[in-house]
Chain A
Amino acid sequence: MADRKAELERKKAQLAAMREKRKMEEKKKLASGGDAATPSPGEAGTPSDLRSETEELLKNLGIAPETSTEPAAGASGAAGGPESPRSSPKREAGVGAKKLTVSQVTQTTVVAKETVNYCKETQTMNLEPERDVLTYDESEREGEGVNAAEALAELQRMPHVQELVAAGAAADGAAPVAAEPEKPRELSDEERQQILLSESFVRFFDKTARVMERALAEDVDIFIDYSGGSGDTELGETAKQQVKQQRVFYDDRWSRNRCVTALDWSPHFPELCLAAYNANEDAPQEPDGVVCVWNVKFRKDSPEFVFHCQSPVTSACFAKFHRNLIVGGTYSGQVVLWDNRTPRRTPVQRSPLSSTAHTQPVLSVCVLGSENAHNLVSASSDGRLCTWSLDMLSQPQETLDLQRQNRPVPATCLDFAPSDANHFVVGSEDYSMYTGCRHGAKAGIMDALDGHQGPVSAVATHRATGPVDLGHIVLSASFDWTVRLWSLRDLGTVHVFEETSDYVMDLCWSPVNPALFCAADALGRLDFWQLNLDTEQAAARAQCDAAVNRCRFSDSGLLLGAGDHLGRLTVFELADSLASPRQEEWKLLGRTLHELKQATAELAAAEQDPPGVGPIR
């Protein structure tokens, strides 16, 4: 502020000085008698000059010049504003009469943004209100107090709410029922797997599944009316049919495409039978050897037990004195043992694959002896006979090589004489049968029975036990389409059955009827021969759809199981007249055999004599 004042003073002084100077000049001019014209412009000029000067001075001081002449608009506009109109050259007004017209309208448009709006209405359907509006008027209730019965009655007036009422009433009313029963906890996948794989569960599941399957498979007609008259006509029919197909056992997974290689009926449970299967070529990842135990008693379609092993099973049997064991002989030469007490399906015991045991397919296994002293005997196709103990399959107790003329016998089948653990009959590929014995000085092959013209496929020693000992009667089946009846006493053929027209694959004596046996051939035909009835023709015939590989009578003699090459096990039921022996069966059979023997001898004699030389008797 102080220097401002000083400045002001200075400027004032300057101003004063200038005024005085001017005055002096004026005086000079007046004195010199200047033109009147010049002072006027000069005068006119000087006031304007003076004015501009003052204005400049004032401006320097920061005092805005008189605001009345300046436009009120923005600050920056102030300086520029007055200059421009002044600097522009003044045009003299009134140049001439201008023609003024209205100009065109200039229009400017900014288009508005179009907003789309639409109107939609929805109206709820106007239904008749079915229910009264349930008002929860707390105040009312509180006054009354909660009366469960009353509340229930009130609520029940509205029928549709009833289910809710029940729940609500139950919850509110009598017993709280422990709030809410504990929600079962959801098990994780791991826990589930653990439980599923635990042994106790597996065992339980196995057993109960079996029971359930049986129960479900039964289709007993509970509505049967014994007083009705519709069932009488059936008897006549069954009388005609001697052999009837009862059931077919077939499992899609285990029997498909597998040939039945062995068949056996359980000595402990007459309804159980086992079937051993070959490998399934179409399913290489499935185990090669399968043994299924089927149950005839129940209607269910799945096997009771399934066992398998890595090599195709070529023979199998129930262990006679152990109700839980199943013995099998495999293609690789191993003898394996399964136990149905354990849930595992693989063998519990296995014989080693060594040269001390078998190295060729085991074609027969059987348990011989008595309950206290029994052995397992197995024979393989290289003529080796091994004796094992059921407890220890790590090495055979005895080994016997069957040799004939210093060459091993290429065996195909083996059978022991009933109740004789020593003597056996073996059929071989070189068209002959051999008798042999296991122990004794001459252990091995004793005699040869020739006659067949093809490899022997099955031998069967007489099974039925009765008043007459017919242990010397042996049947043999061969690929030369014949079945031969032999007598071991005189080592000769008793009779030749030439009925079949294809390879005879298997045969089996009936365990109850001494004169009955069954032969199965590759056409699927099962011939039942009743020797006392007719020796030239089969007494009954049954047909399977595929080539039958094995056939076995059950211990009762009433059922026959036939396994074919497609994996099916067909069970046939025999009529009583056929299956059961008559009173005089044994006697008749003796006579029949004698007759047959005679006939054969005559035939042989006739053949030896040149034909036409002597009379044919």
Chain B
Amino acid sequence: MDDLSEENTFSVDEVSQIIKEGVETCIGTSQFQQNKVNQWTSSIIEHCLNQLTKLGKPFKYVANCVIMQKNGAGLHTASSCYWDNQTDGSCTIKWENKTMHVIVTVFGLAI
């Protein structure tokens, strides 16, 4: 079936790689700065989507980015979807440095 071909499934590894790259490129070694957070989130998402679309797969993507300053507070998020498990998928990457947590989630929905 076409659905099960390589082209038509959400490749978690690929996507996670893309996300990691994206975060590292945009934030790298910066420390948390309130005035730059805006920039960072946009650039991360942009980078991710660009790379994802370059893959050329017939997918719809949704990218979500959260940057949280390390202040001792706790955070908990959860998500769930109603989709076709075979073709669709999501990928969440948690990245952190000394001053902040970065959580990027990408959902890919087969067209």
Contacts and interface: CB of A to CB of B under 8 A. Distances in A.
Interface of A: 74, 76-77, 80, 84, 88-89, 91, 95, 98-113, 115
Given A74-B42, A101-B85, 14 more contacts: A80-B50, A84-B53, A88-B111, A95-B2, A103-B83, A105-B80, A106-B78, A106-B92, A106-B105, A107-B78, A109-B76, A109-B77, A112-B72, A113-B71
A104 B81 CA distance: 7
B27 to A, nearest CB: 16
A61 to B, nearest CB: 26
A112 B42 CA distance: 26
Contact of B78 (A89, A95, A108): A108
A108 B71 CA distance: 17
A103 B92 CA distance: 14
B79 A91 contact: no
A112 to B, nearest CB: 3
B111 A103 contact: no
A111 B88 CA distance: 29
B47 to A, nearest CB: 11
B84 interface: yes
Interface string B88-110: 11101010000001010100000
Contact of A91 (B68, B71, B83, B111): B111
B76 A107 contact: yes
A457 to B, nearest CB: 100
A80 B90 CA distance: 23
B85 A103 contact: yes
Q: Which of A102, A103, A104, A109 has the most CB of B within 10 A?
A: A103
Interface of B: 2, 42, 46, 49-50, 53, 56, 58, 68, 71-90, 92, 94, 101, 103, 105, 111
Contacts of A88: 53, 56, 58, 111
A112 B74 contact: yes
Contacts of A101: 82-85
Nearest to B79: A106
Given A105-B78, A108-B76, A109-B76, A98 B58 contact: no
Contact of A110 (B42, B68, B87, B111): B68
5 tightest Cβ-Cβ pairs between the two chains A and B: A112-B74, A113-B72, A110-B75, A105-B80, A107-B78
Contacts of A104: 80
Contacts of B71: 113
Nearest to A109: B76
Nearest to A87: B53
Contacts of A84: 49, 53
A109 B92 CA distance: 11
Contact of A108 (B42, B56, B88, B92): B92
A101 B94 CA distance: 26
A110 B94 CA distance: 9
Contacts of A76: 42, 46
B58 A89 contact: yes
A84 B85 CA distance: 25
Given A109-B76, A112-B72, A112-B73, A98 B111 contact: no
9 contacts: A76-B42, A102-B82, A103-B81, A108-B76, A108-B105, A110-B74, A110-B75, A112-B72, A113-B71
Contacts of B78: 105-108
A614 B35 CA distance: 149
B71 to A, nearest CB: 8
A366 B8 CA distance: 138
Contacts of A100: 82-84
